Amino acid sequence: MRALTYCVATTIDGFIAEPDRSDPSTSGLLAPPPEYLPHVLAGLPEIVPTHLREPLGIADAEPARFDTVVEGRGSYETGLAAGITNAYAHLEHYVFSRTLTESPDPGVHLVATDPVEKVRELKARPGKGIWLVGGAQLAAALRPEIDELLIKLHPVAAGAGIPLFDGDFRPERFDLVRAEPHPGGIVHLTYRKR
């Protein structure tokens, strides 16, 4: 069975986006320093958006861990606002929304049904892992199905913003598997569900 990994950048105080939901990688809040980029390109090239893959010389790079990406409407609309209809055209791409009625891109599959049921269906299919890119509300809804957390912890405190999980109080236990410091002070924390 395929695993669902919530792979996301966060501040040291647990925020994945600014209070206005602006893209933290372009606003500067969670912009990775240049010295961090080689690690991403070598280890997880599939998390690089499609429009950046060719300029970075990884247009044909095979996915290391994930061949499917899932995200919520809010996360998806961040890309749409920038004119990007499919940030991850190199992956099977699912967007969960009850309000979007049609996809502006044929490679983006809109899902209006229960996210837990859909992710269970995706997990049962053959293939590589499933990457939950965000947002916080979808992460909270899918928390029972998350097998692994890959937290890219940035050395910045925001004080407020969109939390890592935005939902009901339901504690879930995870075990720390690995802590890897990287250039620029970013630390990758890998947790697996107990």
**Is residue 142 scored above 90 in pLDDT?**
yes
Angle, alpha carbons 46-51-52 (nearest 5°): 65
Nearest-angstrom CA–CA distance, 141 and 155: 27
Taking only the tens place, the pLDDT of each residue in 43-65 is 999 999 999 999 999 999 999 99
Nearest-angstrom CA–CA distance, 90 and 150: 21
What is the pLDDT, as a whole number, of residue 31?
87
Domains and their CATH numbers in the chain: 4-193 (3.40.430.10)
What percent of the chain shows pLDDT beyond 70?
100
Q: How confident is the model at residue 28 (pLDDT cuts 50, 70, 90)?
A: confident
Q: What is the 3-state secondary structure (H, E, C) of the chain?
A: CCCEEEEEEEECCCEEECCCCCCHHHHCCCCCCHHHHHHHHHHCHHHCCHHHHCCCCCCCCCCCCEEEEEEEHHHHHHHHHCCCCCCCCCCEEEEECCCCCCCCCCCEEEECCCHHHHHHHHHHCCCCEEEEEECHHHHHHHHHHCCEEEEEEECCCCCCCEECCCCCCCCCCEEEEEEEECHHHCEEEEEEEC
Q: How confident is the model at residue 32 (pLDDT cuts 50, 70, 90)?
A: confident
What is the pLDDT, as a whole number, of residue 23?
74
**Is residue 133 scored above 80 in pLDDT?**
yes
Nearest-angstrom CA–CA distance, 145 and 142: 5
Q: How confident is the model at residue 21 (pLDDT cuts 50, 70, 90)?
A: confident
Q: How confident is the model at residue 98 (pLDDT cuts 50, 70, 90)?
A: very high
Q: How confident is the model at residue 20 (pLDDT cuts 50, 70, 90)?
A: confident
For residues 107-125, average pLDDT: 98
**What does the mean pLDDT of the chain come to?**
95
What is the pLDDT, as a whole number, of residue 63?
96
